[in-house]
Amino acid sequence: MILLAKHTPCLRANEGLFRYRNQVFGAETRDDQSSVRDFGILAIDDRASKDDTSPQKPLFPTSSGFRSYSPVCPNSLIRLRQQASKFESVHNRQRGLERCLLDSQREKERMDNDSSVIQIRNLTKIYRDFWGRKKVEAVKSLSLDVNKGEVFGLLGPNGSGKTTTLKLLLGLLFPTEGELKIFGKPATNVEKNERIGYLPEESYLYRFLNAEETLDFYSRLFKGSSAERQKRIDELIDMVGLKHARRRQLKEYSKGMTRRIGLAQALINNPDLVLLDEPTSGLDPLGTRDMKDLILKLKEEGKTVVMCSHLLADVQDVCDRIAILFQGELKVLGKVDELLQEQEVTQLRTSRLSDAAIEEVQAVLQKHEAELVDVDHPTTNLEDLFLKTVYESKARPGQRYIPEEQASPSAASE
């Protein structure tokens, strides 16, 4: 049996979709009708879900604000249940469920539009030893999407499964469970690689080649005339600033230089999707700066970028959306600006005011007559969010972290 929490403001209009069997039920909030807010607990009968022949009708009164939607996604109920059971307290379970509902809503949206470049569904990866014994569960039922044209950041402490996720995406590892699609194709498909660039965690390049030979080798794995290739190679060597060392073997390179040539290698085919595993590690401040510029430039060109990084400031600068993993589990997923917004506080930014004026402003504000320059929620920085997520996850293992500011007061009153 699954409990759905009392309806909360967090479930905004049309967002609280819930799929059961072939039907999707949604909670609708109409602010003018308080009766809807009172709508209570949604119960789903386990037996009903097993019985295929039972009439597909809502298990709750549709009159009181739920509406049925067209059919989608049969699997999500089970997943929902799995995820919901991880939440311990009723309070958390409610919030968790709401989150799950939100997720499945988004999932549906993304499945509907073609804009998502990467689709990860319920992905699990277990590393096993030679005898098939389980060593680590590096990724635990991860679901997320990356949309076209966005810069997506994958964060998490060391060993949280970021690299594993990327390798799974590239078909270097095989998922233990779940599905992966890149450009709508499975990860093992080779043709999709025409449009992908990958910068590995460390530069796994051929150390006996020099920069030119390296790029020439990789470029010859793609179609194109030799003149074009040569042009591209020159461009890239120039871009990553290795002109002076283009004829030296990679084994003589410093770490940053290898990173640079690795980046050039990743961009050799002018890819639509770039997967960067810690792109800034080992780079000097200038290089880091260039890397950020480059990522933004790629975004401008309409390319999709997925990056792992520990440099949160950089991530905050360039990423549109982030996901934070902790021990293989997705803890936070969302738009950077939204995640960093503190809902509870409102920040006023005005032109310079004297102390006396401030008091006045406060009075004036009440009357809405002040010259407001900016009304905003103050933002934390990503570092705070990251640390909070990690500490919270450590304190309560197995739970999805939900930033406090998104929890509603009414849910807490349960």
Ligand X SMILES: Nc1ncnc2c1ncn2[C@@H]1O[C@H](COP(=O)(O)OP(=O)(O)OP(=O)(O)O)[C@@H](O)[C@H]1O
Contact residues toward Mg ion (CB under 5 A) are 163, 201
Could you tell me if 238 and 230 are in contact, meaning their C-beta atoms sit under 8 angstroms apart? no
What letter would DSSP give residue 379?
A: B
Could you tell me if 214 and 260 are in contact, meaning their C-beta atoms sit under 8 angstroms apart? no
What part of residues 224-263 is at the interface with other proteins (CB under 8 A)? 249, 262
The one of Mg ion, other proteins, ligand X, none whose footprint includes residue 158, by CB under 5 to 8 A per kind, is ligand X
**Ramachandran category for residue 282: left, alpha or beta (phi over 0 → left; psi -120 to 50 → alpha):** left
**104 or 163, CB closer to Mg ion?**
163
**42 or 166, CB closer to ligand X?**
166
- Classified as helix, coil or strand, 314 is helix
- Classified as helix, coil or strand, 59 is coil
Query: Whole-number minimum distance, CB 182 to other proteins, in Å?
Result: 11
The one of ligand X, other proteins, Mg ion, none whose footprint includes residue 117, by CB under 5 to 8 A per kind, is none
* DSSP codes joined into one string, 173-210: S--SEEEEEETTB-TT-SGGGGGEEEE-SS----TTSB
The one of other proteins, Mg ion, ligand X, none whose footprint includes residue 190, by CB under 5 to 8 A per kind, is other proteins
**156 or 197, CB closer to ligand X?**
156
The interface mask with other proteins, positions 85-124, x = CB under 8 A, is: ----------------------------------------
Is 323 buried (19+), middle (13-18) or exposed (0-12) by CB count in 10 A? Answer: buried
Could you list the residues that contact ligand X (CB under 6 A)? 127, 135-136, 138, 156, 158-164, 201
* DSSP codes joined into one string, 212-260: HHHHHHHHTTS---HHHHHHHHHHHHHHTT-GGGTTSBGGG--HHHHHH
The one of other proteins, Mg ion, ligand X, none whose footprint includes residue 118, by CB under 5 to 8 A per kind, is none
**171 or 241, CB closer to other proteins?**
171
**108 or 185, CB closer to other proteins?**
185
Q: Which residue is nearest to Mg ion (CB)?
A: 163
Q: What b/e readout covers 107-134, taking b as 16+ CB neighbours within 10 angstroms?
A: bbebeeeeebbbbbbbbbbeeeeeeeee
Q: Which residue is nearest to ligand X (CB)?
A: 163
Query: Whole-number minimum distance, CB 343 to ligand X, in Å?
Result: 30
**208 or 391, CB closer to other proteins?**
208
Q: d(Cα 306, Cα 319) in Å, to the nearest integer?
A: 9
**201 or 235, CB closer to ligand X?**
201
Q: d(Cα 109, Cα 88) in Å, to the nearest integer?
A: 29
- Classified as helix, coil or strand, 169 is helix
Position 193 contacts other proteins (CB under 8 A): yes
Q: Could you tell me which residues come within 8 angstroms of residue 21 by beta carbon, excluding any fewer than 6 positions away?
A: 49, 56, 74, 77
Copy the structure tokens of residue 215: 């790029």
**96 or 175, CB closer to ligand X?**
175
Query: Whole-number minimum distance, CB 208 to other proteins, in Å?
Result: 4
Position 188 contacts other proteins (CB under 8 A): yes
Query: Whole-number minimum distance, CB 184 to other proteins, in Å?
Result: 16
The alpha carbon of 299 is separated from its chain's Cα centroid by a whole number of angstroms, namely 16
Could you tell me if 319 and 312 are in contact, meaning their C-beta atoms sit under 8 angstroms apart? no
Position 198 contacts other proteins (CB under 8 A): yes
Binders of other proteins: how many residues, by CB under 8 A?
Answer: 32
The one of other proteins, ligand X, Mg ion, none whose footprint includes residue 391, by CB under 5 to 8 A per kind, is none
Query: Whole-number minimum distance, CB 321 to ligand X, in Å?
Result: 18
Q: Could you tell me which residues come within 8 angstroms of residue 406 by beta carbon, excluding any fewer than 6 positions away?
A: 10, 343
Position 134 contacts other proteins (CB under 8 A): no
Position 132 contacts other proteins (CB under 8 A): no
The one of other proteins, Mg ion, ligand X, none whose footprint includes residue 69, by CB under 5 to 8 A per kind, is none
Residues that bind other proteins (CB under 8 A): 129-130, 167, 170-174, 188, 190-191, 193-194, 196, 198, 200, 202, 204-206, 208-209, 213, 217-218, 220-222, 249, 262, 265, 269
